[in-house]
Amino acid sequence: MVARITTHRKKNKQMYFDSTSTSVIASVCTAALPARSTIRSLGHSNTSIFQNYQLVWLDAHIDEHNDSNCQNTITVLRRIINYVTTFNEVDECMNYIGKMKDEKIILIISGTLGQNFIPIIHDTSQIISIFIFCKNKLVHELWAYSWSKIKGVFEEIPILYEAIKQAAEECDRNTISMSFININNETSVENLDKSFIYMQILKEIILEIDFKDQDIKDFTTYYRKHIVGNVAEQAIIDKLEREYHRYEPIWWCTNEYFLYSMLSRALRTMQIETIIGISFFIRDLHKYIDQVHSEEIHNSSSLIVYHGQGISQKNFDQLKKTQDGLLSFHNFLFTSKNRESPLNFARQTIINSDLIGILFVMTIDHSLTSTPFVNIRNDLTKGEVLLSIHSIFHIGQIQQIGTNNNRLWQVELTLANKNDLKLHVLNKRILDETISFRKGWCRLSELLIKQNQFNKAQQVCDIAMTRTDDENEKAFFYYQLGLIKFHQEEYKEASLFYNSSLRIHEKNLNSSSIDAAACYMGIGSIHEKMEIYWKALSFFEIAFGICEKILPTTDSLVTNCINNIGRICYLMKRYSKSIFYYKKVLKIYQNTSTSNQSDVAIAYKNIGLVYVKRNEYSNAITFFEKTLAIYKKILPSNHLDIAETYQTIGS
């Protein structure tokens, strides 16, 4: 109850901070926030949530529109958590919390309302921490500490601020996403955790981009859209835009926490717009860590650091199944040389949540590590080490800490080194199966399309299109947008994008390029879907004519063209021509040592289907049996393709 707190004190000093780390807040606390409707609208716009949590404040006497003290308090709190929603009514607050299925909520509540409300909502999974804010601490402490999620009873803003800041940092730590990877001879990229592949390729993409000052301005413009009315944060973002290069990236990471918090959620939820916007900082921080690490590489041999974190039961079960495999953290990772602080954090996690508390004990060989790291503090009691993004570890022993608690565990990790065989096999497999001649954001959108993540791929194309002046890149993004719309069955839009790409190629005298051929194939596929087969055939033949001149016969684009022509001829009942092209592609597969056997099997099957249409059943069965023979060699005995082939032969 902010209004009562103000009258309870003779001076309003609780609204200001003396520490240098919060001097920015002190300078803006007296500034008024926007009107009530502006503040409340933050609770109804998903675009404003770019942290792992939001703040909900329930108090019958909140009046942020008319009460300047309340305005100032929210200004202070938004310095930590931008997304603040206030409520006067219990029912309205409950309904709001109930709708936040995948969000984490830090709750401030008055003592009077809390006494009746907390028993109802305490076990709600969305709520991670509760703070009682009142004017009578002694009275409400009597009942408050029987509830594990209540972090304390507070009368003064500065103390409440620090407690909420700690809770926010704990939430960020507990929401660092990770991947668990088992490596064996049968492991393919299709069976790998997709988030691991995204992080691997995303890191490679970001590190090869040459960012400009305009990228910083683009980010600050994007960020300002989400902090309307957040006066303190606006001051910080203004400083970042003006003075980014005056400070080392590590300073921005440790002193302006919003960057780390924002990055944490973006990587966890694959927020494409945020990732692209903040990518300049990811690159700069990694480069800084790598440079310092290379300078210090001869000063130390190995060290042990600790990291405490809470993880879900599901992730813990997966961790145990992946013992002796690999684990990857998707963000920059803060660790400590001191065991006690991370251990206490792991213990605290299991008190206040249903998470499993994990103390990661990490052994690092300084000279061989595949992930650079940097010392933040070197003193014995607070020695902190920051590992760069996407650090990869071997999972060793997993053991329970103590005998009375099965929710507190220690996990031994060893940071993978440059000569690591498993890591080498994994990286080669990803490279082989996601190979691309594209660079930058073109490569990311291409990967997302391959993974059927069409909405995210479109986001990449839309954003990247505004950031490039390269005509060839724009042409490729138009092509990818055409491909996305084709898969979404929006054929008119797909055709428009393909033709936009072709116009750029014609303008740049590249109408006979591979990229132009891909556009012709795309337009042909649209006409095939619309059952305008003669037009489809025309475009497929144009594409084949281009590819045949500039690519080796074994190239996948050439074989795709031939297969497309064979299929269209089949649909047009031109069976002789269809067989000609299907046999042509079969011969290419048979003469190529690197051909996929499943492609050969499909070629046999396609030829057999054409013979069926020609009533040449003996020839058809011959080719179906060749298909079956290959499937028996490369597929499990119960595979659906084998059953379907038997059925085809039998019918």
What digits encode the pLDDT tens for the residues 263-280? 999 998 889 999 999 999
Report the range out of 60-64, 98-102, 372-376, 386-390 with the highest average pLDDT: 386-390
Q: How confident is the model at residue 184 (pLDDT cuts 50, 70, 90)?
A: low
Question: Is 103 a residue whose pLDDT tops 50?
Answer: yes
Average pLDDT, the chain: 86
Average confidence (pLDDT) over 199-222: 93
H/E element, 52? none
Average confidence (pLDDT) over 32-39: 34
Instruction: Say what the pLDDT of residue 187 is.
Output: 54
Q: How confident is the model at residue 328 (pLDDT cuts 50, 70, 90)?
A: very high
Burial status of residue 124 (CB atoms within 10 A of its CB: 0-12, 13-18, 19 or more): middle
* Contact by Cβ (8 Å): 415, 393: yes
Write the secondary structure of 632-651 as one string of H (helix), E (strand) and C (coil). Answer: HHHCCCCCHHHHHHHHHHHC
Q: Where in the chain is the domain with CATH 3.40.50.2300?
A: 2-174
Taking CA atoms, 438 is separated from 205, 222, 441, 487, 550, in Å, by 10, 26, 8, 21, 18
- Pick left, alpha or beta for residue 460 (phi over 0 → left; psi -120 to 50 → alpha; otherwise beta): alpha
- When mean pLDDT is compared across 12-16, 323-327, 466-470, the lowest value belongs to 12-16
Beta-sheet strand order (sheet of 53-58): 84-87, 53-58, 104-109, 127-133, 150-154
The architecture in CATH of the region 469-650 reads: Alpha Horseshoe (1.25)
Instruction: Say what the pLDDT of residue 191 is.
Output: 65
Average confidence (pLDDT) over 244-264: 91
pTM of the model: 0.81
Give the separation between CA 584 and CA 587, rounded to whole angstroms: 5
Query: Tell me: the pLDDT tens digits for 191-204?
Result: 678 888 889 999 99
Look at the block and give the residue holding tokens 């609204």.
Answer: 15
Higher per-residue pLDDT: 420 or 135? 135
Task: Match domain 2-174 to its CATH number in 2.40.50.100, 3.40.50.300, 3.40.50.2300, 3.20.20.60.
Answer: 3.40.50.2300
Higher per-residue pLDDT: 189 or 14? 189
Q: Where in the chain is the domain with CATH 1.25.40.10?
A: 469-650
Instruction: Say what the pLDDT of residue 64 is.
Output: 61
Instruction: Say what the pLDDT of residue 15 is.
Output: 30
Average confidence (pLDDT) over 325-336: 94
Query: Tell me: the pLDDT tens digits for 61-86?
Result: 887 656 777 888 888 888 889 889 99
Instruction: Say what the pLDDT of residue 299 is.
Output: 67
DSSP state of 436: -
Give the separation between CA 648 and CA 624, rounded to whole angstroms: 8
What are the tokens at 475? Answer: 């042409």
Instruction: Say what the pLDDT of residue 57 is.
Output: 95
Question: Is 348 a residue whose pLDDT tops 50?
Answer: yes
Q: How confident is the model at residue 307 (pLDDT cuts 50, 70, 90)?
A: very high
Residues in Cβ contact with 213 at an 8 Å cutoff, skipping those fewer than 6 apart: none
Q: Where in the chain is the domain with CATH 3.90.176?
A: 176-418
Residues in Cβ contact with 228 at an 8 Å cutoff, skipping those fewer than 6 apart: 34, 38
Query: Tell me: the pLDDT tens digits for 556-610?
Result: 899 999 999 999 999 999 999 999 999 999 999 999 876 789 999 999 999 999 9
- When mean pLDDT is compared across 3-12, 57-66, 247-256, 337-346, the lowest value belongs to 3-12
Question: Is 5 a residue whose pLDDT tops 80?
Answer: no
Strand partners, 399: 410
Q: How confident is the model at residue 332 (pLDDT cuts 50, 70, 90)?
A: very high
SS3 439: coil
Instruction: Say what the pLDDT of residue 402 is.
Output: 85
Average confidence (pLDDT) over 215-223: 94
Number of neighbouring beta carbons within 10 Å of residue 224: 15
Instruction: Say what the pLDDT of residue 7 is.
Output: 25
Instruction: Say what the pLDDT of residue 185 is.
Output: 53
Q: What is the CA radius of gyration of the chain?
A: 30
Question: Is 3 a residue whose pLDDT tops 50?
Answer: no
Question: Is 18 a residue whose pLDDT tops 50?
Answer: no
176-418: which CATH topology? Toxin ADP-ribosyltransferase; Chain A, domain 1 (3.90.176)
Average confidence (pLDDT) over 614-636: 93
Instruction: Say what the pLDDT of residue 11 is.
Output: 31
Single out the residue of 601, 583, 606, 590 nearest to residue 639, CA to CA: 601
H/E element, 63? none
Query: Tell me: the pLDDT tens digits for 471-529?
Result: 999 999 999 999 999 999 999 999 999 999 999 998 887 777 899 999 999 999 999 99
Instruction: Say what the pLDDT of residue 352 is.
Output: 65
Q: Report how far apart the first and last C-alpha atoms of the chain are (Å, whole number).
A: 78
Give the separation between CA 373 and CA 386, rounded to whole angstroms: 5
